[in-house]
């Protein structure tokens, strides 16, 4: 299980290959990459800064991945989240889950993203034509996380 | 009881500082009491009562209003998270 | 939209980068890679051959991806499926979906995999210690596809 | 009416060939009729009636038992698919 918080970019192909590492019990690898969009909540975004809570961030991410491993029979999981200044088109986050079967891999990957969005201490600050603003949390993200609580 | 308090994101900007150390008076023993104590200081501190959906963590774990506080705890206040 | 059926391997990092191609309206890229497992249905697999129906395969895959694009507001999608002889650990299939938001990207990616599993003319023939055998279709795959029919 | 018939995977092995061209007698105008005609040839052909969950395509589109056949059609028979 790998959890990293970093300013530098990551290479998706390299990270997925490291997760798979030719383990022949792995039949399924589901992954997700999040990017900075140039439009968000109706305004053009020229740049973004991701603030976080050092120490708690790593613990929160590790707890989310550990919970995914408890809920589903998966082989391994990977979570990389960037912090600092980012531009439209930049990669923000990578979540990847390797397992025997696709159902578990997809579910665990979505679960990690949904929990990360509502439970990991990151905050986005966008710069738009109207100046800088902190991104507002979306109710849809809260609802996406809640569907796993059954 | 001495605590370390951290503020993040928009709340850090409203409060005007990212962290402080403070001694709690007797009778403050949970998050709810801590918020009441901080807001009563006036100035920028009432922001804690007006920010929408304030979140709090104690020793880097998400906490609730009735989470108890112990000497040396690290308490953090922040708005809802928006990573990912 | 890219749909390819090929004997050669593919590089996931290269394919995902080509799908994303720095389009700043893309905020989410969900993907899935399927691999040959060394164990399947209780037996050790030493190699596998994927047979398909040339002509129909490409049409069926294009129709599945087109249906995903009709159902969800996604930006683009990619589907690569290998045929021929494969070994445990080898990549079989890559599905990737780029969109503005993660909900649509995840859903479309799973939909494409579920429909591919039940509607694209591929057949797996495994070699085990007991000889060669055609892989049996699983009821679970049929059920996974049916949940999209609401 | 002249048709091209294809067989795939385990069914191809049971039938012993991957394709054939044949002239249908009058009165055979859909997949159900074609299966009946082929099975009646005996030999390996009754496999078509015994294979579990036989699938069929006409001109490379999934078909049903009542899908009509036209001269020149490409008809394929195969077991349930197992790709991905």
Separation of alpha carbons C131 and D78, rounded Å: 22
Could A39 and C25 be called an inter-chain contact, meaning their C-beta atoms sit closer than 8 Å?
yes
The contacts of residue B41 (CB under 8 Å, 6+ apart) are: none
The contacts of residue B11 (CB under 8 Å, 6+ apart) are: B47, B48, B51, B54, B77, B78, B79
- ipTM for the whole complex: 0.94
Separation of alpha carbons C123 and A28, rounded Å: 18
- Are C105 and C74 in contact by the 8 Å Cβ rule? The answer is yes
List the one residue out of C122, C143, C142, C139 whose CA is nearest residue C50.
Answer: C122
CA-based nearest distance A118→chain B, Å: 6
Interface check A24 vs C, CB under 8 A: yes
Taking contacts as CB-CB distances below 8 angstroms, the residues of chain D near C59 are: 60-61
Residue with token string 């290479």 = A11
Could C53 and D53 be called an inter-chain contact, meaning their C-beta atoms sit closer than 8 Å?
no
Could D83 and C122 be called an inter-chain contact, meaning their C-beta atoms sit closer than 8 Å?
yes
Three-state SS letters, B22-68? EECCCCCCEHHHHHHHHHCCCCCCCHHHHCCCCEEEECCEECCCCCE
Interface check A118 vs B, CB under 8 A: yes
Averaged pLDDT of chain D: 96
List the one residue out of C49, C31, B42 whose CA is nearest residue A12.
Answer: C31
What pLDDT is recorded for position A89? Answer: 97
- Are C59 and C7 in contact by the 8 Å Cβ rule? The answer is no
3-class state of residue D1 by DSSP: coil
Quick one: pLDDT band at residue C75, thresholds 50, 70, 90? very high
Interchain touch A–B (≥3 Cβ pairs closer than 8 Å): yes
What pLDDT is recorded for position A121? Answer: 98
Give the best residue of C22, C31, C92 to mutate against chain A (max A CB count within 10 A). Answer: C31
List the one residue out of D84, D81, D70 whose CA is nearest residue D34.
Answer: D70
Query: What pLDDT, in 10s, does the model give residues A65-92?
Result: 999 999 999 999 999 999 999 999 999 9
Q: Which residues of chain D have pLDDT under 50?
A: none
CA-based nearest distance A83→chain B, Å: 9
Query: What pLDDT, in 10s, does the model give residues C102-145?
Result: 999 999 999 999 999 999 999 999 999 999 999 999 999 999 99
Separation of alpha carbons C93 and B16, rounded Å: 52
Interchain touch C–A (≥3 Cβ pairs closer than 8 Å): yes
Interchain touch D–B (≥3 Cβ pairs closer than 8 Å): no
Domains and CATH numbers, chain C: 2-131 (3.90.1170.40)
Q: For B25-29, what is the mean pLDDT?
A: 92
Q: What is the DSSP letter of D30?
A: B
- Are D44 and D14 in contact by the 8 Å Cβ rule? The answer is yes
Residue by residue, DSSP assigns A88-114 as TT-EEEEEEEEESSHHHHHHHHHHHHH
Interface check C81 vs D, CB under 8 A: yes
- Are A90 and A35 in contact by the 8 Å Cβ rule? The answer is yes
The contacts of residue C105 (CB under 8 Å, 6+ apart) are: A32, C28, C29, C30, C72, C74, C97, C98, C99
Separation of alpha carbons A88 and A124, rounded Å: 13
Give the best residue of C21, C29, C80, C90 to mutate against chain A (max A CB count within 10 A). Answer: C29
Query: What pLDDT, in 10s, does the model give residues B31-50?
Result: 999 999 999 999 999 999 99
Taking contacts as CB-CB distances below 8 angstroms, the residues of chain C near A145 are: none
Neighbours of chain B (3+ CB pairs under 8 A): A
Tell me the backbone φ, ψ of residue B52, rounded to 5 degrees.
Answer: -75, 130
What pLDDT is recorded for position A111? Answer: 98
CA A22-A25-A30 angle, 5° bins: 75
Quick one: pLDDT band at residue A100, thresholds 50, 70, 90? very high
Residue A150 has pLDDT above 80, yes or no: no
For residue A90 the two structure tokens come to 């930049």
Could C117 and D83 be called an inter-chain contact, meaning their C-beta atoms sit closer than 8 Å?
yes
How many residues are present in chain D?
84
- Are C79 and C94 in contact by the 8 Å Cβ rule? The answer is yes
Could A12 and C11 be called an inter-chain contact, meaning their C-beta atoms sit closer than 8 Å?
no
The contacts of residue B42 (CB under 8 Å, 6+ apart) are: none
Separation of alpha carbons A58 and A4, rounded Å: 7
Closest Cβ–Cβ partner in C14, C106, C113 for A102: C113
What pLDDT is recorded for position C11? Answer: 98
Taking contacts as CB-CB distances below 8 angstroms, the residues of chain A near B83 are: 50, 52, 81, 92-93, 116-117, 120-124
Averaged pLDDT of chain C: 96
- Are A14 and C17 in contact by the 8 Å Cβ rule? The answer is no
CATH number of the B2-78 domain: 3.10.20.30
CB contacts under 8 A, A 117-136 vs C, are none
What pLDDT is recorded for position D52? Answer: 87
CA-based nearest distance B48→chain A, Å: 17
């Amino acid at each position: 299980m790998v959890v990293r918080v970093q300013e530098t970019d990551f290479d998706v192909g390299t990270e997925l290959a490291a997760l798979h590492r030719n383990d022949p019990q792995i039949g399924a690898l589901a992954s997700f990459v999040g990017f900075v969009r140039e439009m968000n909540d109706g305004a053009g975004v020229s740049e973004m800064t991701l603030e976080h809570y050092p120490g708690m961030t790593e613990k929160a991410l590790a707890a989310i991945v550990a919970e995914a491993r408890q809920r589903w029979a998966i082989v391994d999981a990977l979570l990389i989240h960037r912090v600092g200044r980012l531009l439209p088109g930049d990669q923000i986050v990578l979540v990847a889950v390797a397992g025997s079967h696709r159902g578990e891999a997809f579910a665990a990957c979505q679960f990690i993203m949904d929990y990360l969005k509502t439970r990991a201490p990151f905050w986005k600050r966008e710069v738009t034509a109207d100046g800088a603003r902190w991104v507002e949390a979306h109710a849809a993200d809260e609802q996406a996380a809640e569907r796993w609580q059954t | 009881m001495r605590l370390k308090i951290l503020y993040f994101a928009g709340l850090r900007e409203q409060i005007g500082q990212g962290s402080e150390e403070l001694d709690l008076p007797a009778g403050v023993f949970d998050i709810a009491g801590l918020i009441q104590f901080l807001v009563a200081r006036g100035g920028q501190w009432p922001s804690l009562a007006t920010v929408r959906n304030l979140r709090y963590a104690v020793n880097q774990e998400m906490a609730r209003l009735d989470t108890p506080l112990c000497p040396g705890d690290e308490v953090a206040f922040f708005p809802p998270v928006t990573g990912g």
